[in-house]
Amino acid sequence: MSGLGGLNKTTGGIVIAAVQSQLFRVGNPKDLADATKHVCNLVRRAKREYPAVDLVLFPEYCIHGLSMATDESIMCTMDGLEVAAFRQTCLEEQVWGIFSIMEKNTLSVDAMPWNVGITINSSGEVVNYYRKLHPWVPVEPWYPGNQGLSVFTGPGGVKMSLIICHDGMFPEMAREAAYLGAEVMFRTAGYTSPIRKSWEITNRANAFTNLMYTVSVALAGADSTWRSMGQAMFCGPEGDIIEQGDGTADHIVACEIRVEEVRRRRREWGVENNLFQLGHRGYVAVKGGANDCPYTYMRDLAKGTYAQAEASEVMIRDGTVCGFKEPTCEYKDES
């Protein structure tokens, strides 16, 4: 049930529009300004095409493109022109928006920029700020997120979380979002076509294994070097694809989300209520179920001693194979 692809909204539902925005080549402040204007115009178009829309979702790199450039002249700040334009547009159109920026990092002089997703409400206020936890190494140069994952209350009182691109390949990310209460998890990306099959597998699995909706979108079109895949996708809490886009640039894919479908399953399901059962193993045989941590990798990660069985054989350990310098900056945790 998608409300005829977001054209209708029923009581208790919200309409989300995922925009397969055009991939741009951005190398200077004018390019950045043009891309920002284009994204703002797409917010307006989404509101015209889908008057019932509550939230408009844009891909990762929606104003920066895929050059991986870190030149300070095109890095954003939270009080800069780009974020101000997004805030003003959401206020004018009375709609929520999720946007992507590459943000200047002031942790130290040698710290690489952040890959950031921001959520702005219909009053033009930033209500969620997320730094990508898992940059797509060895391709991306971004400093790894150090504030953890957050959940916020979106339109209609729906609990939401945002992850970015490669984050979604780690099932722990979706589980963390659901564990913190997310009923809808957004995933924004700049992925190109070789990732299409993995994209579907992980979007669907993240939804089913956590009994939640996943709403995902990538850039689309070409910039003379790269071609992004588009492929907006709405998955329901049983892992079914409700709505799906293609590779068309600037195509808007909308869908009604009925969050009670999540809440009822999490309350009432026995079989495959895996979010609950992870911490209550075997509750048929053991009172309350076992609530220990039987997973070695979890215990090692918590202790800072994570090392897979083949760790000594891993060959690529920095970004030099993609032309980046060997890093010298140390990681600082703020979570």
Tell me how far apart the alpha carbons of residues 192 and 221 are, in angstroms, rounded to a whole number.
Answer: 10
Q: Are 58 and 90 in contact (CB under 8 A)?
A: no
List 40, 47, 60, 159, catalytic entry: 60
Let me know if 334 is a catalytic residue.
no
Q: Are 180 and 260 in contact (CB under 8 A)?
A: no
List 62, 132, 183, 243, catalytic entry: 132
* 111 CB neighbour count, 10 Å cutoff: 16
CA atoms 233, 234, 240, 246: torsion sign: negative
Let me know if 60 is a catalytic residue.
yes
Q: Which of 189, 260, 254 is nearest to 56 (CA)?
A: 254
Tell me how far apart the alpha carbons of residues 89 and 83 are, in angstroms, rounded to a whole number.
Answer: 10
List 40, 62, 165, 255, catalytic entry: 165
Per residue, the 3-state secondary structure of 259-289, as one string, reads: CHHHHHHHHHCCCCCHHHHCCCECCCCCCCC
Beta-bridge partner residues of 131: 116
Tell me how far apart the alpha carbons of residues 20 and 190 are, in angstroms, rounded to a whole number.
Answer: 10
Active-site positions?
A: 60, 132, 165
